[in-house]
Structure 1
């Protein structure tokens, strides 16, 4: 997939040219993952990390996408009624999303989310929804504001149906 550009910022697949050493979102597990694991997971095809690059080449944020499956019994009852009776329902996992603290408050989190949703809906791989596991209540509120729905009995796990996401990009 090509790069997405907005006012000279761009989102691209993580590569060796991206400096990850100074990235600091304020959430240590997200920072540690990006600095030490993201490249390895990309090379092993466990996750696809994407970075938001500023005009000066600095990384302002990142997210990861990968495939996943969710047990049919985990979905809300009103959603399950619309699904076939497969034991696992395919989905896309938005595994991590973080913005460097020096760039927070500029709308880059929403921009990264929109880019992730666009890439997910353009994929030619079957996926019923995009799934997120919010790291904390602030992340949960962010995803709820972006029209994600909570899984029953899992307050930090949310989803947005792919059919709904497709409507965003028509």
Structure 2
């Protein structure tokens, strides 16, 4: 089994598509109304990314089999600036960008390179995937609530 937080699989009839919103009406309409026919005619292939979330998180979500997420590539701070809060500031900036209304995402995902990095993200509220402790996520609503506690 892969330690990746997402399983990429071919689209099939069991995948719920009505709740999918990419922000592009033509793409959404294609996924809902046309892609199955194109797959059958062998003129297209369509894959979906599936994520397993801990039960404590998934029970709070709509009954969709997957949720959209933003994945952060890398986060590093030069040693000359270590311990000055720059890593936390960069992370806060990434969270703010990921939570913008024009980006439809439920969580920010990270792949910690080692235990030290995983501890950094854990300190900032990220939750480790049950089967992959170096893959962590933070629901964006949690990030927004911690930045705006009165909302």
Shared fold, TM over 0.5: yes
> For 2:78 and 2:141, how far apart are their aligned partners in 1?
31
Match of 1:107 among 78, 85, 95: 85
Superposition pairs of residues 43-62 of structure 1, within 5 angstroms: none
**What do you get for the CA RMSD once the two structures are aligned?**
1.7
> For 2:49 and 2:112, how far apart are their aligned partners in 1?
16
Larger Rg: 2
Match of 1:71 among 43, 50, 58: 50
Show the counterpart of 1:80: 58
Residue 118 of structure 1 contacts residue 169 of structure 1 at CA under 8 Å; is this kept in 2?
Answer: no
Matched positions, count? 101
**Superposed structure 1 runs of 4+ greater than 4 Å apart:** none
Larger strand proportion of the pair: 1
Distance 1:110 1:70, change over 3 A: farther
> For 2:62 and 2:139, how far apart are their aligned partners in 1?
15
**Matched position secondary structure for 1:158:** strand
Post-superposition Cα deviations, 1:126-165, rounded to whole Å, max 9, x if no partner, equal 1011111101000000011101111111110111111111
How does the TM-score come out when normalised to structure 2? 0.61
> For 1:167 and 1:83, how far apart are their aligned partners in 2?
17
Question: After alignment, is 78-87 or 144-153 more displaced?
Answer: 78-87
Larger RCO: Structure 1 or Structure 2 (Cα < 8 Å, ≥ 6 residues apart)?
2
Matched, 1:124 2:102: yes
Show the counterpart of 1:158: 136
